[in-house]
Amino acid sequence: MRRAFATPGWLLAAIVVVGPASAQSPSAPPLATSSTDRYVRLWDAAGQQTRSILAHDGVVTCVIYTPDGKRIISGGDDKTIRIHTVDDGALENTIDAHDKAVLCLAISPDGRTLASGGADNKVKLWNAMTGSLLKTITAHSQPVRALAWRPDGKGFASGGADRLIQVWRSDGSLAGTIVGHDEAITALAYSKDGQYLFSAAADGYIKVWNAQDFGLVSRQKLPERVLLSLALSPDGKQLATAGQDGRIRLWTVTNAVLSAEQSAQTDRGIAALAWSRDGQMLITGGSDKTLRYWSSRDLTSLLQGTQPAAITAISVAP
C-alpha cells in the first residue's frame, strides 16, 4: 500500500442522501460524480459544478462519500483507491488496492470499514480511516461488479461477472451464495430493514431475495438486456432502475414485490442513479455526459448539468 498526503488545494454503486426540500420546489442535493476523464466533480444545490478533482490516472469507476460527509473515496482503472477531503479537495490517502481496476466501493454504515471490488475477482476490506488492509477475499471467479452493505453493518453482499451473488459476514467470512441470474450482476441494494436484497443483472432481470435464507421472493423482466443501475428510495417504497437503453424505470415496492412502473427516456445509456434524502428527486448520469435531476413523483425533468466526460457513478452528500 502506498499513501500520499497532499497540502490543501484540491469510478458500478453507492448512494447517500441530504436534507429536506420544499414540496413545491425541491432543492438539488449536493453530490459528486466520477467520470471517464480521470476527474471527480462536485455539484452544489443549484446543480452547478463547484470543483473538479484530478483523482486517478485513468477512468474513475466509482465514487462514494464517507457517512460523515467529510471525505470522498474513489476507485479507478489505475488499481488505486483515493481519498480526498471535501472542504478543500486535498488528497489525504492513496491506496494501492487491487491487481487490476477497482470497479466498486461500499462503506459500512458506521464509516469504519471500506469494501472494494476489483477486476482481479477479489473483495478487499480496509480500515476506512487509516487505509490499512483488513482482509482479502477471493470472492468471485470473474470481476466483482457490485457491493452493498446491510443497513445494520453486520454483513455485505458482492455481485460478480460470474453471475453469482456472494453474501458475507462483516469479518469477511462467507454466509451464503445466491445463484439466480444468467448474466453478470451489475447492481445490489438492501432494503431499509435489511430483510431483502435487490439485484440487477445484464440478463435484464431485477430480482428480490430473502436476506436470511437467500430464497427468491419476486422478479421482474425488463425489455432491455443490460441493467446497469439500481437504487432504492430512502423510505424503501420505490426502486429506480436504468441501463444501456437510456430508460429510467420507477417501481413501487410493496412487501418486496415490484409494481406500478413509470418510465422516462434519455438519449443514451445510464450508468448511475441516486436519490435525494427526502425522496423527492432522482439523479441520473451516463454516457451522454449529462447529470439529470428528475421528480420522483412523475419523472418530469427538473434540472440538468453537463460535464466534459461520461459519468460513471454518482454519490449524494450526507
DSSP state string for 42-61? EE-TTS-EEEEEE--SS-EE
Q: What is the Cα 206 distance to its own chain's centre?
A: 16
Q: How far apart are CA 105 and CA 29, in angstroms?
A: 21
Quick one: pLDDT at residue 14? 32
* CA atoms within 13 A of residue 205's CA, in its CB half-sphere: 15
Note the helical H segments in 77-141: none
Q: How far apart are CA 302 and CA 27, in angstroms?
A: 10
What stretches in the chain show pLDDT beneath 50? 1-24
Fold of 31-316: Methylamine Dehydrogenase; Chain H (2.130.10)
Q: How far apart are CA 227 and CA 75, in angstroms?
A: 21
Helices then strands, each counted (H, E), the chain: 0, 28
- What mean pLDDT, rounded, does the chain reach? 90
Q: Could you read off the pLDDT of 87-133 as tens digits, one per residue? A: 999 999 999 999 999 999 999 999 999 999 999 999 999 999 999 99
- Domain spans of the chain, in order of start: 31-316
Q: Could you read off the pLDDT of 206-251 as tens digits, one per residue? A: 999 999 999 999 999 987 668 889 999 999 999 999 998 899 999 9
Q: How far apart are CA 239 and CA 192, in angstroms?
A: 12
DSSP assigned state of 194 = S
Quick one: pLDDT at residue 26? 65
Q: How far apart are CA 39 and CA 41, in angstroms?
A: 6
Quick one: pLDDT at residue 260? 81
Angle CA 89–114–143, to nearest 5: 105
DSSP assigned state of 29 = P
Quick one: pLDDT at residue 224? 65
